Structure 1
Amino acid sequence: MTEELVARARDALRVVIDPELGQNIVDLGFVYDIIAEGGDVHITMTATTPGCPATGFLKEGAQAAVAAVPGVVSADVTMTFEPPWSPSLIDPAIRASLGFAAGN
């Protein structure tokens, strides 16, 4: 059940689109960790930079998306900038479509 809830939470996070890059936060590598304990889901995620103006939007979007998943009692999102995000975390197919070189 826990693994299934984590998978459903990860899928739900795909509806949260970064307004700057135009892709979902999962494929962009913003989601560092998802832990489910019973119906409580804890997400650790990041944004492109600590000063990113979309940080609040992304955090609220992630919380709302996961809270709507059947079986989730509560959803908590922690923003972190350790380790710092880099384009190398983007899904390779998405990275290419955004024009980032494979080595970035």
Structure 2
Amino acid sequence: MTATPDIETLRKALKRVADPEIGTNIVDLGLIYRLEYANGQLEIDITMTSPACPMGDLIIDDIHAELERLLPADIEVKLTVVWDPPWQPSMMSPECRGRLGWQDAG
């Protein structure tokens, strides 16, 4: 039986998932709002940089693929796309803001 990875391990794995339009990972972009084990499943709340994001389905598929590599088969993933609060550049990590030229985003 595969051990259940801790949240930090999962967060690191999600850094391998990029928003293809921006070329930056979804963790540093600030798209992961919640990542926790609850009720016998992994619950994830994510957002997109825009409700009209054309890459949303691809990002979601990539998240599932990355997590399937790590999680035991008995752990269900409940992924919810949320729009509140709306994503803003200030949600990016400082390093990400710097790479993308958003130094003044606060």
- CA distance in 2 between partners of 1:70 and 1:55 (Å): 22
Indicate the residue corresponding to 1:87 in structure 2. Answer: 89
Superposition RMSD on alpha carbons, in Å? Answer: 2.1
- CA distance in 2 between partners of 1:8 and 1:77 (Å): 17
Indicate the residue corresponding to 2:46 in structure 1. Answer: 45
Gaps of 5+ in 1: none
Indicate the residue corresponding to 1:75 in structure 2. Answer: 77
Is the Cα–Cα contact under 8 Å of residues 29 and 90 in structure 1 kept in the other structure? Answer: yes
Deviation of 1:85 (Å): 0.4
Larger radius of gyration: 2
1:1-104 matches, within 5 Å, as 5-37=6-38, 40-71=41-72, 73-104=75-106
Higher relative contact order (CA 8 A, sep 6+): 2
1:9-65: per-residue Cα shift (whole Å, max 9, x none)? 111111101111101000100000001137621111011011100111111111221
Gaps of 5+ in 2: none
Moved more, 52-61 or 23-32: 52-61
- CA distance in 1 between partners of 2:40 and 2:72 (Å): 6
Identity of aligned residues (%): 33
Deviation of 1:100 (Å): 1.1
TM-score by length of 1: 0.86
TM-score by length of 2: 0.85
Aligned length: 103
